[in-house]
Chain A
């Protein structure tokens, strides 16, 4: 039967796979929401970045590592880390034109408590969110992918 075929593949049981398909997009959306609203409500770049990494790790735990690596490939994760760090440094260096490092110069709209309010803090939050999410996902993928030598070691010792 078809249900038995689905159960015997890699990953977890059928209930976990169905619930993952329904909720993992919402988890990613919540992480992006926390990053973009970090300047006016609790949250910020760090929590949003960790939640983005958690959504991709959720796919990896439920479906196996091949499906997760198709959604977020390892070269793209490396680009995420480097882009986050470079955006952070370049927005900080822009303050040099006005007198000091990290000076807050951009986007002086006068609309507080909204999404695009004044200051350059939302750009910093996006850079930190990219960097934290990419780094944590890459660390977990490395710990999972390179554990193949286990069975050879046990066979040689017995």
Chain B
């Protein structure tokens, strides 16, 4: 195969994801997800996307800080309930059917490394003369597809207001003034 680095990085990410799913300690699984995100950042570098590599690295760091801050002192005593074998077999058979159908439909995609660029050909040729920005990715997200960036700004704004609304303390003064 021609691109051996992509396949090695994908195998590394799969191993890190399996470790994150199977380990019982919460801190270890958060660290394993961090390793998977680092492998993803390296994969973006190999696929010639430097904007994405920088953004994925710093977003991964912030995601790790938020997850560790939330879970540092809270454990869960592990206990299994009944019907464990039936549930696991049902999930694994569903995933096997999904992967089987995915294999048949992935054959119709173009070969890896042979992109059909029908829309992007126009963007690459006329990008610099129409917008004046040498970075074509910035020209796409801020000039040709500006509506999508407006939607992203709205989603971020709503998420920030949502966190403020969820963590409000209405009964805070009651709890501090004595148990009722």
Contacts and interface: CB of A to CB of B under 8 A. Distances in A.
Direct touch of chains A and B (CB < 8 A): yes
Interface of A: 34, 38-44, 46-47, 50-51, 53-54, 57, 61, 81, 84-85, 88-89, 92, 101-102, 104, 108, 112-113, 117-119, 121, 124-125, 128, 131-132, 135-136, 138-140, 142-144, 146, 149-150, 152, 156
Nearest to B168: A146
Nearest to A144: B69
Interface in B126-146: 128, 130-135, 137-139, 141-143, 146
A139 to B, nearest CB: 5
Greatest chain A CB density within 10 A among B149, B160, B164 is at: B160
B50 to A, nearest CB: 4
A85 B154 CA distance: 8
Contacts of A92: 146, 150
Contacts, number: 121
A132 B152 CA distance: 10
A42 B50 contact: yes
Given A54-B61, A119-B131, A132-B156, A143 B137 contact: no
Interface stretch (B51-59, B91-99, B103-111): B51-59
Given A42-B51, A125-B138, A135-B157, A53 B62 contact: yes
B132 A44 contact: no
A96 B169 CA distance: 44
B66 interface: yes
Nearest to A150: B73
Given A43-B51, A54-B61, A102-B147, A140 B132 contact: no
Given A54-B62, A104-B130, A135-B159, A39 B55 contact: no
A61 to B, nearest CB: 8
Task: List the 10 closest pairs (A to B, CB-CB), nearest first.
Answer: A119-B132, A118-B132, A42-B50, A102-B146, A135-B160, A39-B133, A47-B55, A47-B54, A146-B167, A50-B58
Contact of A41 (B135, B150, B169): B135
Nearest to B156: A135
B175 interface: yes
A138 B164 contact: yes
Nearest to B154: A85
Nearest to B70: A143
A81 B163 CA distance: 14
A85 B155 CA distance: 12
B65 interface: yes
Contacts of B149: 124, 128
Select the residue from B134, B135, B142 with max chain A CB neighbours within 10 A.
Answer: B142
Given A121-B133, A121-B138, A140-B62, 4 more contacts: A38-B135, A42-B54, A53-B62, A92-B146
Contact of A39 (B134, B157, B159): B134
B27 interface: no
B179 interface: yes
Nearest to B141: A44
A104 B163 contact: no
A136 B62 contact: yes
A135 B152 CA distance: 12
